[in-house]
Amino acid sequence: MSKRLILNASEVLTCSGFGPKFGEDMMDIGRIEKGAVIIEDGLIKKVGVQKELLKDINIEDYEIIDAKGNTVMPGFVDSHTHFVFGGYRAEEFSWRLRGDNYMDIMKRGGGIVSSVKSTRESTLEELVARGAKRLDSMVKFGVTTVEGKSGYGLDLDTEIRQLEAMKILKERKDIDIATTFLGPHAVEKQYKGKEDEFIDYQINEVLPVVVEKGLAEFADIFCEDNVFNVEQSRRFLQAAKDAGMKLKIHADEIVQLGGAELAAELGATSADHLLQASDKGIEAMAEKGVISTLLPCTAFLLKEEYARGRYMIDNGCAVALATDLNPGSCFTNSIPLLISLSSLYMDMRIEEVITAITINGAAAVSRADSVGSIDEGKKADIIILDFPSYHFLPYHAGVNIVKTVIKSGEIVAQN
């Protein structure tokens, strides 16, 4: 039996819970001053004030992890990424800097369709190697669970290849991966004006193979103007739900289309982006328990307005935060950038930000029962910060202050 003891922390943040935190409850991060954590066989055995915990154990039975002068907290959960893809779109970023908007670039053959070409030309081995490199970087930032989407194939062969790459990468011991099938991520040229036929193709040809091979837990669609409308999105998501998959949706990013309302109607696990979500949609998500996953790095890099994080929390939503790492609109997996933008431009308190990238992030990938907090019985997915207080997360802006990353009780990274 492996037994470890995290000692001498200035504070332990438990973020305790086995489900999402809504509204004002997001402020509760379970701070324990001078705390300690007992780990046995990769699981959290006990957490509490160090002085009390040490009364009931023989310290010599444990390997000590010294967190003197440090903050201990749950590992981060990045609940929306596209980390498996081929090729890059650096030139498009320069186009945006000179004033071209995202939809204009898509109309010129850039955007998602450009990444589709590069991904289709990539072998399984190439996709695995590139994905592994990106995961290495995530782990160093303190991410212990990540979601990955397909969506840069659009056709059967490439969508399956992307998902198979993620299945191989799931064998890693330093990070857990939740997989999402995002076949309807864009419309190929031959399907322009025939989007209903493309949805039929995804439902009848691609979805059954994904389900048969057990390659994805979630299904997702880009519900947006000039991509897929609400009715097309409803049809695809309902088919995926009927096939036993959980639902996510790219909703109300550029135009207020009603994606948030659709997520609530269908009981989606999360609705993501939400820059243009209506008051009615926000109210519906809060009522139905849909996680509102916000992606401020994307808004920042697209020079768009930010989602109304403050309004959503004040109106009872469970907000999660994620990087949206992808090859076009948001080529970053920087957790420090995510924290800074959320705090400065979405008016989120740092306690709410912490909740959003721990327990609420875990809920957004249906894993709040096993990760996302330091609770007895959960996986010992823990990070140690190189400072004595969680207030250093926004204060040391844009800098990675994660010192040690622990996954299932094992140290997997040290910065």
CB-hemisphere CA count at 13 Å for 231? 2
Segment 290-301, tens digit of pLDDT: 999 999 999 999
Nearest to 290 by CA among 348, 247, 351: 247
Cα 274 to Cα 280: distance, rounded to the nearest angstrom = 12
pLDDT, residue 272, reads 98
Segment 10-42, tens digit of pLDDT: 999 999 999 999 999 999 999 999 999 999 999
| Beta-bridge mates of residue 407 | 410
Q: Where are the alpha helices (DSSP H) in 146-219?
A: 156-169, 195-201, 207-213
Segment 365-408, tens digit of pLDDT: 999 999 999 999 999 999 999 999 999 999 999 999 999 999 99
Tell me if 306 is assigned to a ligand binding site: no
Tell me if 273 is assigned to a ligand binding site: no
Please report, for the chain, the start and end positions of each structural domain, with discontinuous segments joined by +. Answer: 3-73+371-414, 77-364
Tell me if 391 is assigned to a ligand binding site: no
| Beta-bridge mates of residue 48 | 36
Segment 323-352, tens digit of pLDDT: 999 998 899 999 999 999 999 999 999 999
Each residue of 268-281: b (16+ CB within 10 Å) or e? Answer: bbbbbbbbbbbeeb
Q: What is the pTM of this model?
A: 0.97
Cα 282 to Cα 297: distance, rounded to the nearest angstrom = 21
Cα 121 to Cα 115: distance, rounded to the nearest angstrom = 10
Cα 18 to Cα 21: distance, rounded to the nearest angstrom = 9
Tell me if 349 is assigned to a ligand binding site: no
Do 385 and 354 meet the contact criterion of CB atoms below 8 Å apart? no
Considering all CA atoms of the chain, what is the largest pairwise distance in Å, rounded to the nearest integer?
Answer: 70
Tell me if 52 is assigned to a ligand binding site: no
**SS3 label, residue 58:** coil
Cα 185 to Cα 206: distance, rounded to the nearest angstrom = 13
What the block records as the tokens of 122 is 């990539």
Tell me if 152 is assigned to a ligand binding site: yes
pLDDT, residue 110, reads 74
Tell me if 328 is assigned to a ligand binding site: yes
Tell me if 396 is assigned to a ligand binding site: no
Cα 38 to Cα 410: distance, rounded to the nearest angstrom = 13
CATH of domain 3-73+371-414: 2.30.40.10
- pLDDT confidence tier of residue 211, bands split at 50, 70 and 90: very high
Tell me if 415 is assigned to a ligand binding site: no
CATH of domain 77-364: 3.20.20.140
